[in-house]
Amino acid sequence: MNTLIIVVFIIGYVLIALEHPIKINKTATAILTGVVCWTLFVFMEPSPVLLNSKAFTDFKDILSIERTEGEIAATPTDEIHKEFVSYELNEHLAAIAQILFFLLGAMTIVELVDAHRGFRYITDRIQTRNPQTLLWIVCFVTFFLSAILDNLTTSIVMVSLIRKLIPDKEMRLTFAGMIVIAANAGGAWTPIGDVTTTMLWIGGQVSTAAIMASLFIPSLICLLVPVIVLGFRLKGKTLQIAEPPHTTSEVKGGRLMLFLGVGALVSVPVFKTLTHLPPYLGMLCGLGILWVVSEVLHSGLDDVAKKNYTVAGALSRVDVPSVLFFLGILLAVGSLESMQLLNQFAAYLDRTLGDQRIIITLIGVMSAIVDNVPLVAASMGMYSLATYPTDHMIWEYLAYCAGTGGSILIIGSAAGVAVMGMEKVDFIWYLKKISVLALLGYLGGALVYVITHNVNT
Amino acid sequence: MELLIVAVFVAGYILIALEHPIRINKTATALLTGVICWTIFMVSGPTESLLHSTEYSELAQKSHATVSGAGADMEVHREYVIHSLREHLAEIAEILFFLMGAMTIVELVDSHRGFKLITDRIRTKNPKTLLWVICWVTFILSAILDNLTTTIVMVSLTRKLVANRDTRLFFAGLIVVAANAGGAWSPIGDVTTTMLWIGGQITASSIIKSLIIPSVVCMLVPLVFLSFTMKGTLGEGKTPGHDEKTPRTANLMLVVGVSALISVPVFKTLTHLPPYLGMMLGLGVLWVVSEIVNPDLDESEKKHFTAVHALSRIDMPSVLFFLGILLAVSSLQSMHLLQDFAVYLNDTVGDNRIIITLIGMLSAIVDNVPLVAASMGMYSMDVYPTDHLIWEYLAYCAGTGGSLLVIGSAAGVAAMGMEKIDFIWYVKKITLLAAVGYFAGAATYLFLTHI
């Protein structure tokens, strides 16, 4: 039965990776995989490994609070197994829901600021005509923007900017590739910048201050190496002058919404530190405030004109399919975790590869091919917090590797896929021109992290 | 601090009720209320009555073994708050993902014009016959779909069939009554019944058995009365809508969609897994079907018929509203305020049945979701087991009581928006009928369970 579930999981995974050729949306596949895995788990005969695992004995301890020893002994193992499955599913759902409501809130805030054209106050300031200077500016703006916003939005904002600034197609593609690298690198070092780092933060594996202190320099290196290499190539080239960006009309309150939106996002970690409540509540609080402000701001407009600038309008543009994709894939990974399969896999990896740093580096490279969210979820299930406490090296290194490894291939990250869609970046073109740069940056940053943390410990 | 939280909750509630005059969307208010309640609860420390509750002292005993000294009490309190918030979040997430799945399935069927296959069959020209047909179709449709969608589908149908506006308003009013009555008796027909079902307070087969007759009575009383008194004609309608082309996939999507919805209770019974997983399974299947059913269309034509597009049209603000308001109610529950309130009500009012009847009437003014969530927190499952009378009666009252006012239910608000129904007009013409239906159904239920 274990084998069957693994087969289902792998088939699901393959179908998700083949989303485009087979033309089945990956969200549908992910949802079905998640549900089928749990259904099989309920019906399966519990394996001896599962029955003797710590999770299962812990569950029996919980049962013994409400029932007497005799009652538990009288219940058939089958019944206890079913209850165990429900209990585990409930635990996973609580963990998953925290991540999804967090994401939903963050995405809505960003959409709302964008609807007010708030990001134009940043992008309008970039006016230089020197390609080298422009590369540095674009990369650094992307890097810091994606530390606050999600990688996807950042790359969309920045790519639409370079469309206005760079008419030359070949040059623009190079810039687009660098935006992908910068967005992924920038997301890795903050708890709110990237889904995988956020997952580790919400799960309690990393803390805000520590992750920023340890990963800032590696992430920066990960970006700097490609920028410097590419800078040499761009030397002496000139940029064709683009048409002056035609100004689309400003929206009332754009500046205010930008401040409030960024303020709301940045204050989520502060909220967590002050109240000890989970981060998604902070995010929802920020969303509530922004929502009220946007309604008050446009109270003069009639309902139809208002629609574009309200949260209701923003919510209809939020990427809900992604949210459901995460729900499906995280449920599927959760089922493997509850079956204790991930533990066993981690033990197997430890025996064969030995060093965890090698394992995690490989996980990062793998995230260029498969989605990094389930990879991180699986790693969180593989290694227990009891053995590897909060801010342990493996968590921080995992945040770095899973966050930046996706840049190696264009399909390896949400940012890459968005850019591919917007600029029609070719898979092979990216492989030839950008992949090597991204790989150098990835390994450079990884090396810096490993060296600095060997000295400390 | 109990007072403070109650004050925040009441203030939030008032702002939600005053959504339209103050022009602040109720979802924003609900989210803020939920977050503020939990924040106050977390930072202010345990209350007297909480300290004496069994759950709290059990946790304290366990934790005191590990933490001690100054600040240990606060440590225990934090742990308790985080723990109960997590429990509540899991429950809330079950409801919300269930709703999102259901809404997407309905939206997806609608984008393939699946419901036209049903509505196109209604062709009668006699106003009374038409009223009967429409009410029954609404009643049965809303047992499967949510009330909101049913109302929207049926009201847009009457627009095509009934040209005379005065007559049409009566139709719209009765559609609201029928949609609410139809939702109450099926576990998938209505948010509040669904909540009770997901929470394990009721089971699918027994709620259908106990509530179907009271719900029918609740609709029939106004319907019979109105079919005797209603005057006026349908008016000269345009030729009923053959204006839009029905995609050839409509049939298939309707069948798959409706079977996905209906098989959710079956899935639960077979696997013992929570209903939202069954809903997600149905959504996944329908999603795949919708992708492979139109292989020859290009991307841009296909876009309207995909689940991605359907997801952009579902009512996400409502989902977040439920998240906010359910979080707020659950904070009151974790503080044991609801249990205290239930004891107080029992002491003063006495009979549970009277209390629940009042809750139903109250749901015409305030949203029925928090009312039911609060009632679920007030009465414990230890005292009132699954399928106990109070849960079934609560499902009936909270589901149908909202028909008393046009603003009392999602169906009413939708009909109000679509047909510009006046609040006062509804009070004069429909409220009394709805009230008679409500009490008749309630009496039927109480009578049937007594024998």
Q: What is the DSSP string of B375-441?
A: HHHHS-TTTS-TT-HHHHHHHHHHHHGGGGSGGGSHHHHHHHHHHT--HHHHIIIIIHHHHHHHHHH
Please tell me which residue of chain B has the smallest CA distance to A279. B35
Best of A11, A66, A93 to disrupt the B interface (most B CBs within 10 Å) is: A93
Tell me the C-alpha distance between A297 and A421, whole Å.
34
Q: Pick the last residue of a domain from A45, A66, A88.
A: A88
Q: How sure is the predictor about A441, in pLDDT bands with cuts at 50, 70 and 90?
A: very high
- Per-residue pLDDT reduced to its tens digit, B173-195: 999 999 999 999 999 888 899 99
Tell me which of B54, B277, B305 to substitute to probe the interface with A (most A C-beta atoms closer than 10 Å). B277
**Count of domains observed in chain A:** 2
Tell me how far apart the alpha carbons of residues A270 and B182 are, in angstroms, rounded to a whole number: 47
The arithmetic mean of pLDDT across residues B45-72, rounded, is 69
Closest CA to A282 of B3, B42, B48: B42
Query: Which of B272, B280, B311 comes nearest A86 by C-beta?
Result: B272
Cβ A27 vs Cβ A332: under 8 Å: no
Enter the tokens of residue B33.
Answer: 């209320």
- Angstrom distance (rounded) from CA B33 to CA B16: 10
Which of A301-315, A432-446, B48-62 holds the top average pLDDT?
Answer: A432-446
**Joined tokens for residue A382:** 């593989």
Give the C-alpha separation, B65 to B55, whole Å.
16
More confident residue, B273 or A300: B273
Looking at the structure, do residues A281 and A322 belong to the same domain, yes or no? yes
pLDDT at B245: 64
Would you state the structure tokens that stand for residue A246, as one six-digit string?
Answer: 């035609």
For B216, list phi and psi in degrees, rounded to 5.
Answer: -60, -45
Q: CB-based contact (8 Å) between A295 and chain B? A: yes
What does the alpha-carbon distance between residue B179 and residue B186 come to, in Å, rounded to a whole number? Answer: 12
Q: What is the mean pLDDT of chain B?
A: 86
Buried b (16+ CB within 10 A) or exposed e, A103-124: bbbbbbbbbbbbbbbbbbebbe
Among the candidates B87, B109, B140, a domain finishes at: B87
What is the DSSP secondary structure assignment for residue A412, as one 8-state letter? G
Same domain, residue pair B42 and B118? no
A437: its two tokens: 């740069």
Residues A236 and A270 in one domain: yes
- For residue B333, give every residue at least 6 positions away whose Cβ sits within 8 Å of its Cβ, in sequence order, or none: B88, B339, B374, B377
Examine the domain organization and report whether A57 and A153 are in the same domain.
Answer: no
CA distance B88 to B85: 5
In angstroms, the separation between the Cα of residue B114 and the nearest Cα of chain A is 21
**In Å, how far is A447's CA from the nearest CA of chain B?**
38
Q: Who contacts B67 (Cβ-Cβ below 8 Å, separation ≥6)? A: B75, B76
Which residues contact residue B386 at a Cβ distance below 8 angstroms, ignoring those fewer than 6 apart? B200, B201, B202, B203
B299 touches chain A (CB under 8 A): no
- Find how far residue A200's CA is from the centre of its chain: 10
Task: Report the pLDDT averaged over residues B325-345.
Answer: 85
Place of tokens 């580790």: A200
Same domain, B111 and B215: yes
How far is the alpha carbon of A88 from chain B, nearest alpha carbon, in Å? 11
For chain B, say whether A121 makes contact (Cβ under 8 Å).
Answer: no
Residues 296-355 on A with a CB inside 8 Å of B are 296, 299, 310-312, 315-318, 320-321, 324, 327-328, 331
Task: To the nearest 10°, report the CA torsion of A387, A389, A394, A398.
Answer: 120
* Rounded Cα–Cα distance for residues B294 and B247 (Å): 10
Residue A189 · residue A157 · CB < 8 Å: no
pLDDT exceeds cutoff 80 at A242: no
Within this chain, do residues B105 and B59 fall inside the same structural domain, yes or no? no
B51/B95 same-domain check = no
Residues B244, B314, single domain; the answer is yes
| Same domain, yes or no: A46 and A98 | no
Domain count, chain B: 2
Lowest mean pLDDT among A96-110, B65-79, B359-373: B65-79
CA atoms within 13 A on the CB side of B442: 22
Tell me the ipTM for this assembly: 0.84
Q: Which two tokens stand for residue B107?
A: 């939206």
- Among A88, A103, A127, the domain boundary falls at A88
Distant-in-sequence, close-in-space partners of B428: CB < 8 Å, separation ≥ 6? none
Q: Measure the CA–CA gap between A125 and A113, rounded to whole angstroms.
A: 17
Q: Which residues in B lie closer than 8 A to residue A24 (C-beta atoms)?
A: 288, 291-292
Around Cβ A365, how many Cβ atoms within 10 Å?
Answer: 18
Kindly report, residue by residue over B213-270, the tens digit of the pLDDT: 999 999 999 999 988 887 767 766 555 445 556 677 888 998 999 899 888 888 988 8
Split at pLDDT 50, 70, 90, the class of A452 is confident
Residues of chain A neighbouring B308 (CB-CB closer than 8 A): 25, 27, 321
Across the interface, whether the CB atoms of A277 and B42 are under 8 A apart is answered yes
Same domain for A189 and A55: no
Q: How far from each other are the two terminal CA atoms of chain B, in whole angstroms?
A: 47
Q: How many helices (H) and strands (E) does chain A have?
A: 25, 0
Shared domain check, A376 and A392: yes
CB proximity A164 to B under 8 Å:
no
Rounded mean pLDDT of B54-69? 67
Residue of A nearest to B278 (CA): A35
Chain B nearest C-alpha distance from A82 (Å): 8
Residues above pLDDT 70, as percent of chain B:
93
Q: Is the pLDDT of residue A427 over 60?
A: yes
From A325, which residue of chain B is nearest by alpha-carbon distance?
B284
Note whether B65 and B96 are same-domain residues: no
**Cβ-based contacts of A299 with chain B (< 8 Å):** 23
What was the pLDDT predicted at B210? 92
Same domain, yes or no, for A102 and A79? no
Please check whether residues A74 and A211 belong to one and the same domain. Answer: no
pLDDT at B152 over 90: no
Mean pLDDT of chain A: 86
Of A31, A59, A88, which marks where a domain is finished? A88
Burial class (CB in 10 A: 0-12, 13-18, 19+), B243: exposed
Q: What is the DSSP letter of B145?
A: S
Calpha distance A254→A118 (Å, rounded): 5
Asked which of A207-216, A238-247, B36-45 is least confident by mean pLDDT, the reply is A238-247
Residues of A within 8 A of B283 (CB-CB) are 28, 31
Whole-number pLDDT of residue A457: 47
Q: Are residues B57 and B95 in the same domain?
A: no
Burial class (CB in 10 A: 0-12, 13-18, 19+), A332: buried
Residue B45 reports pLDDT greater than 80: no
Q: How confident is the model at residue A246 (pLDDT cuts 50, 70, 90)?
A: low
Domain stops at, among B64, B87, B110? B87
Determine the structural domain holding residue B371 and report its residue range: 91-450
Beta-carbon separation of B284 and A23 below 8 A: no
**Tens of pLDDT, residues A265-293:** 888 888 888 888 998 999 999 999 999 99
Min distance B53 CA to chain A CA atoms (Å): 16
User: Are A81 and A104 contained in the same domain?
Assistant: no
Shortest Cα distance from A312 to chain B (angstroms)?
6
- Structural domain ending residue among the three candidates B60, B87, B114: B87
Note down the domain range covering A75.
2-88
- Which of B31, B90, B100 is opposite residue A90, by nearest beta carbon? B90
* pLDDT tens sequence across A151-166: 877 888 888 788 777 8
Mean pLDDT of B361-367: 83
Residue whose token pair is 């033309």: A23
pTM for the whole structure: 0.85
Per-residue pLDDT at B64 exceeds 70: no
| Chain A residues lying within 8 Å of B23, measured CB to CB | 295, 299
Is B89's CB within 8 Å of A28's CB? no
Kindly state whether residues A208 and A319 are assigned to the same domain: yes
Of A39, A289, A324, nearest to B273 by CB-CB distance is A39
Contact A295, B24 (CB under 8 A): yes
Alpha helices in A339-382 (DSSP H): 341-353, 356-366, 372-382
In A36-65, the residues whose Cβ lies within 8 Å of chain B are 36, 38-39, 42-43, 65
User: Residues A219, A82: one domain?
Assistant: no
> Which of A161-165, A169-173, A377-381, A399-403 has the lowest average pLDDT?
A161-165
- Long-range pairs of A2-11 with CB within 8 A, sequence gap ≥ 24: A2/A44, A2/A47, A2/A339, A2/A341, A4/A40, A4/A44, A5/A37, A5/A40, A5/A41, A5/A44, A5/A335, A5/A336, A5/A339, A5/A341, A6/A336, A6/A341, A8/A33, A8/A36, A8/A37, A8/A40, A9/A33, A9/A37, A9/A332, A9/A336
Answer yes or no: do B39 and A38 touch at CB < 8 A: no
The verdict on B230 and B192 lying in the same domain is: yes
Q: How big is the CA angle at B199 (ends B77 and B398), to the nearest 5 degrees?
A: 110
Residue B106 pLDDT exceeds 90: no
Pairwise CA distance, residues A99 & A330, whole Å: 10
Q: Do A32 and B288 touch (CB under 8 A)?
A: yes
Q: Which pLDDT score is estimated for A90?
A: 92
Residues A84 and A104 in one domain: no
Confidence (pLDDT) at A29 = 93
Shared domain for B75 and B148, answered yes or no, is: no
CB of A35 less than 8 A from some CB of B: yes
**In terms of CA atoms, which chain A residue is nearest residue B267?**
A39
